[in-house]
Structure 1
Amino acid sequence: MADCSTSMDFSGALQRLGEDDPSAAVAKAKEQLNILDNVSLNIAVTGETGAGKSAFINAFRGLDDDEDMSAPTGITETTNEVTMYTHPTMPNVKLWDLPGIGMPNLKADQYLKKVKFETYDLFIIISSTRFKENDVFLAMEMKKKHKHFYFVRSKIDNDIHSESRSKTFDEQQLLCTIREDCLRNLKEVGDPEVFLISSYDLGKYDFQNLVDTIELELSEQKQFALVQSLPVCSLAMLKKQKRRMEKFIMLFAIASGCGGFFSIPFLSLAFDKTVLVAFYTSCHHAFGLDEKSIEKLSERVNKPVQHLKLPIKSPLTLALMDKSKLVPPIGPTCPVTSLENLLDVKHFVKRFQNATQAFNHTYSVLSQGLNDMVNDMTEVLRVAGLD
């Protein structure tokens, strides 16, 4: 992957923030980071009974169906009331499991009021067969109210497995047939896109396309929340995570590299270490280098955790793994330095005469750290066979 640019200058950063005064720019950068940290994203998952809503919610949150925080799944309707599930590492991202609209005690014309329709930023309408009258009804109502909605045809892995026994089986042809069948039942909605998904393997089929489509229709702050909350299930998703983090390096560099400079000039301690740690920790989780993500990847590809950790080489990734209690590979070529000591070496031993020097150095170090983690995760995906 190409390195992200380290040539952003301080005056250009001030210009992008719309501030001439460096002190005001620092305050604005911290304010924007605070907004990013607190922005909420509410995703409603709806559809007929048994469509696989709960399985999708679990997969989106990077959880298995049998984990403590997972939404209950089953062959019968498991959601009788609106149920909210927070994301394990992004608590401001909430997925709402809505009752199946096909339940006998919940008719279509009562549905929107019961589920508090206006609460959500977007809707995922899921079907495990073809989309039916109730699905079309929901989409038409959402269209009237200018709400974003997306049709997801779930359980594609079941269809593939069922049809694969046929001598004339052609996977691409089957996917095309399923998509066309769904679209025939959605003519009233206009010209919607249907995303084919397996909740048990998000790296296949249309999940990446679904994410790309949703992202385009959200504000920048909500885009950040969306992408940060997604499991890294492919190299394409890792690249998306990287591009999203690159957009915000400038804010972290101003907030950290210049945050204390104006009150403590000429001192190397004019860095806000908590901002640096927040950026690196955020990347660490987003890229799937944390303990739980590595373990889940190990289970998914049926390879030992230790094999997936072996290609991890950068001191920063190793320090973050150590901090998060994911024991890194230890050997003569992989010494582990604590995150605090690593930041001291990279930042606090330096002295700068002005905010421009502090910004440039911090921007460069953050960019390099980002690239180091991306390169490590790229190697992990390669070992996992997902490159």
Structure 2
Amino acid sequence: IITSSICLIRKKRSTFQLISEEEVEDMKVAFEFGGWESVVSKIQENLDSIENVKLDIAITGESGSGKSTFVNAIRDLEDEDEGAAETGSIETTMTPTKYPYPNNRNINLWDLPGIGTLKFKADEYLQQVNFSQYDFFIIIASERFKENHAKLACEIQKMGKRFYFVRSKIDSEIAALKKRKKSTFSEVVMLEEVRKNSIECLQKQGVERPQVYLVSCLELDKFDFNKLQETLQQELSAHKRDAFLLSLPNISKTILLRKKKLMRNQIWKLASISCVVATIPIPGVSVVCNAAILVKMLTRYCKDFGLDEEALARLAKKVDKPVEDLKSVIKSPLAGQISSDLVFKLLTKTACGGLMVSGSFLRTIPFIGGAVAGGISFGATYYMLENFLDGLSEDAQKVLEKAFD
């Protein structure tokens, strides 16, 4: 066991390079200012920020463009699911309607009334929908972008907000063109032409540097959806970027791997709290509290990977397969099975590699050495979380493969 632990630790030493100099300095300042209480508080605040940060995304476009369908698809909901936006060819959205993500109620998509209808004029629109409350806008069109789309974008641009254009029914356009040009059709050429023409059309109407994404609400894993969510992540602030990523539906291995990378960045913070709590008495913080923190975090990891009863039931319904078929490839516990007893059991199993992990961490953050020296809590917690995360990531990928095989 010890030999295999050493080999694994050698492979993972580079993990501690994920701790930025800024984060190390923040911890050092916190320690100098208020000792270990301040360090624990700082780390916990950082971990909680992803869960507590608010993000409001406005979805707008003409009636019948697929706004409501997009709102449902990006939240991994079918049109008939509980909490889904009402869809239809007739405008069903008369006031801004909030739709939170199922696994994070602080991240909201706002389905806005359609532009270009009799009830809403373009020049009054932003004021009517309370423009200032949204972090950014996604402007949707089912076919070509029109004058109202450009006018709205120019007004948003003046007010200093970000916006992105989405062609929401690109799969239908492909199918139609394929029928007309059976022998000469090229999907790659067609997509490039649609993107180029859309950009040129918007530029002619005064939109500066328009970003256009081609999406199918029925097949989000295809076309430009991954590019869209990558762009949104890059342009959001750090905490909002992370929260947005974790809320995304697990529709591709790319998204699953990005989630895993983000979660790995959190592991040292959880383990740091563990080592401090275990070795240095802090008023109001106990071993029981420490276990509760880990239970909460492991449960959240499971839900972010879609490994909970509700998410699996939704996926099974979507792909028309028994939920037990999806569960058959899962080795990790589901979100509802995480408990203090399970945490203690997992920590006991990882105790052997604890001291070795602690040594690597000490070289990165030497001033925390006084806490780690008293035991292996940091190493055991880090080692356990790393192994648990690896298992979840593998299981989530297997579920995805099983669902769509």
> What TM-score do you get using the length of structure 1 for normalisation?
0.86
Structure 1 residues 3 and 240: CA distance shift in structure 2, 3 A: farther
CA shift at 1:112, angstroms? 1.1
Aligned to 1:200: 218
Q: Does residue 352 of structure 2 align to residue 342 of structure 1?
A: no
Aligned residues of 1:46 and 1:125 also touching (Cα < 8 A): yes
Alignment of 1:72-87 (within 5 A): 72-87=86-101
1:183 aligns with 2:199: yes
Deviation at residue 276 of structure 1 after TM alignment: 0.9
Cα distance, 1:150–1:107 mapped onto 2, change above 3 Å:
same
Give the CA deviation at 1:121: 0.5
Q: Which residue of 2 aligns with 1:331?
A: none
Residue identity opposite 1:107 in structure 2: K
The question of whether the paired residues in 1 share the 8 Å contact of 2:308 and 2:336 is answered with no
Cα distance between partner residues in 1 of 2:309 and 2:176: 35
1:364 has 2:383 as partner: yes
Mark the CA change 1:213 to 1:6 in structure 2 (over 3 Å): closer, same or farther.
closer
| Separation of aligned partners in 1, 2:85 and 2:20 | 48
Asked if residue 67 in structure 1 is aligned to residue 87 in structure 2, the reply is no
Contact 2:302 2:392 in 1 (8 A): yes
1:26 corresponds to which residue?
Answer: 40
Query: Which digits, 9 at most, give the CA deviation of each residue in 1:20-77, with x for residues without a partner?
Result: 4433211111122232221100000011111111111111222111112111000011
Q: 1:293 aligns with which of 292, 298, 311?
A: 311
Whether the 8 Å CA contact 2:72–2:85 is kept in 1: the answer is: yes
CA contact (8 A) 2:19 2:265 kept: no
The question of whether the paired residues in 2 share the 8 Å contact of 1:128 and 1:153 is answered with yes
The reply on whether 1:58 has 2:90 as its aligned counterpart is no
Cα-Cα RMSD: 2.9
Paired with 2:397 and 2:269, the residues of 1 have a C-alpha distance of 25
Map 1:132-151 onto structure 2 (within 5 A): 132-151=146-165
Deviation at 1:278, TM superposition (A): 2.0
Distance 1:9 1:179, change over 3 A: closer
- Aligned with 2:187 (options 171, 181, 185): 171
Matches within 5 A, 1:174-323: 174-187=190-203, 188-259=206-277, 261-263=279-281, 269=287, 272-313=290-331, 317-318=332-333, 320-321=334-335, 323=337
Residue 17 of structure 1 pairs with residue 27 of structure 2:
yes
Per-residue Cα deviation, 1:119-150 (whole angstroms, up to 9, x for no partner)? 10011010101111111111111212221111
Q: Deviation digits for residues 360-387 of structure 1, max 9, x if unmatched? A: 322222122111100111222233347x
1:209 Cα deviation (Å)? 0.5
- Structure 2 segments unaligned to the other structure (5+ residues): 1-10, 356-368
CA distance in 2, matches of 1:11, 1:26: 18
Question: Partner residue of 2:402?
Answer: 383
Find the aligned partners of 1:193 and 1:355 in 2 and give their Cα distance.
Answer: 50
Instruction: Report deviation, 1:11.
Output: 12
Specify the alignment match of 2:53 in structure 1: 39
User: Residue 145 and residue 250 in structure 1: after superposition, are their counterparts in 2 closer, same or farther (change >3 A)?
Assistant: farther
Higher helix share: 2
1:276-331 CA deviation, whole Å, 9 max, x = no partner? 12221221111122223323333444444333222222xxx22x2553xxxxxxxx
Paired residue secondary structure (2:287): coil
**1:90 paired to 2:108:** no
Judge conservation of contact 1:232–1:238 (CA < 8 Å) in 2. yes
Q: Which has the higher contact order (CA 8 A, sep 6+)?
A: 1
1:333 corresponds to: none
d(CA) in 2 for partners of 1:219, 1:9: 18
Distance 2:383 2:154 in 1: 49
Contact 1:4 1:367 in 2 (8 A): no
| Structure 1 residue identity aligned to 2:371 | A
Counterpart residue type for residue 27 of structure 2: L
Cα distance in structure 1, aligned partners of 2:377 and 2:25: 17
The answer to which of 297-306 and 179-188 deviates more is 297-306
Residues 41, 4 of structure 1: alpha-carbon distance in 2 compared, 3 angstrom cutoff: farther
TM-score (norm 2): 0.82
What are the residue-to-residue correspondences of 1:101-116 with 2, within 5 Å? 101-116=115-130
Question: Are the equivalent residues in 2 in contact too, given 1:197–1:204 (CA < 8 A)?
Answer: yes
Q: Look up the SS of the partner of 2:329 in the other structure.
A: coil
Tell me: CA distance 1:11–1:90, structure 2 relative to 1, closer, same or farther (3 Å): closer
CA apart distance, 1:268: 9.5
Question: 1:72 aligns to what SS in structure 2?
Answer: coil
Q: Aligned match of 1:128 in 142, 149, 165?
A: 142
Which whole-Å CA distance do the structure 2 matches of 1:29 and 1:342 have between them? 24
Secondary structure of 1:77's match?
coil
- Greater Cα offset, 223-232 or 172-181: 172-181
Partners of 1:271 and 1:6 in 2: CA distance? 26
How much does 1:14 deviate? 4.7
Deviation at 1:9, TM superposition (A): 11
Moved more, 87-96 or 12-21: 12-21
CA distance in 2, matches of 1:233, 1:66: 19
Compare 38-47 and 270-279 and name the one that shifted more.
270-279
Number of aligned residue pairs? 366
- One-letter amino acid of the structure 2 residue matched with residue 204 of structure 1: K
Instruction: Look up the SS of the partner of 1:91 in the other structure.
Output: strand
1:261 and 1:270 in contact (8 A); partners too: no
> Do the aligned partners of residues 9 and 159 (structure 1) sit closer, same or farther apart at CA in structure 2, a change above 3 Å counting?
closer
